[in-house]
Amino acid sequence: MAQTVTSKKMALAKAINESLRRALDADPKVVVMGEDVGKLGGVFRVTDGLQKDFGESRVIDTPLAESGIVGTAIGLALRGYRPVVEIQFDGFVFPAYDQIVTQLAKMHARSLGKVKLPVVVRIPYGGGIGAVEHHSESPESLFAHVAGLKIVSPSNASDAYWMMQQAIQSDDPVIFFEPKRRYWDKSDVDTEAIPGPLHAARVVRAGTDLTLAAYGPMVKLCQEVADAAAEEGRSLEVLDLRSVSPIDFDAIQASVERTRRLVVVHEAPVFFGSGAEIAARITERCFYHLEAPVLRVGGYHAPYPPARLEETYLPDLDRVLDAVDRSLAY
Partner 1 sequence: MTVESTAARTSRRSAGNKAGTTGTKRTTSTAKKAAGARKSTEPALVQLLTPEGKRVKNAEFDPYVAGITAEDLRGLYRDMVLTRRFDAEATSLQRQGELGLWASLLGQEAAQIGSGRALRDDDYVFPTYREHGVAWCRGVDPTNLLGMFRGVNNGGWDPGGNNFHLYTIVIGSQTLHATGYAMGITKDGADSAVIAYFGDGASSQGDVAEAFTFSAVYNAPVVFFCQNNQWAISEPTEKQSRVPLYQRAQGFGFPGVRVDGNDVLASLAVTKWALERARAGEGPTLVEAFTYRMGAHTTSDDPTRYRHDDERAAWEAKDPILRLRRHLESAHHADEGFFAELETESEALGKRVREAVRAMPDPDHFAIFENVYADGHALVDEERAQFAAYQASFADEDGGE
- Active-site residues, by number, are 135
Q: Closest distance between partner 1 and the C-beta of residue 62, in Å?
A: 7
Residue 17 or 99 having the CB closest to partner 1: 99
Residue 246 or 306 having the CB closest to partner 1: 246
Q: Closest distance between partner 1 and the C-beta of residue 184, in Å?
A: 32
Q: Is the peptide bond before 63 cis (omega within 30 degrees of 0)?
A: no
Chain CA centroid to CA 49, Å: 24
Q: Closest distance between partner 1 and the C-beta of residue 299, in Å?
A: 24
Residue 221 or 251 having the CB closest to partner 1: 251
Q: Closest distance between partner 1 and the C-beta of residue 125, in Å?
A: 22
Residue 3 or 57 having the CB closest to partner 1: 57
Q: Closest distance between partner 1 and the C-beta of residue 268, in Å?
A: 19
Residue 15 or 100 having the CB closest to partner 1: 100
Q: Report which of 300, 133, 154 is spatially closest to residue 217, judged by C-alpha positions.
A: 154
Interface residues with partner 1 (CB under 8 A)? 31, 57, 62-63, 65, 67-68, 70-81, 95, 98-99, 102-103, 106-116, 147-148, 150, 170-172, 199, 245-250
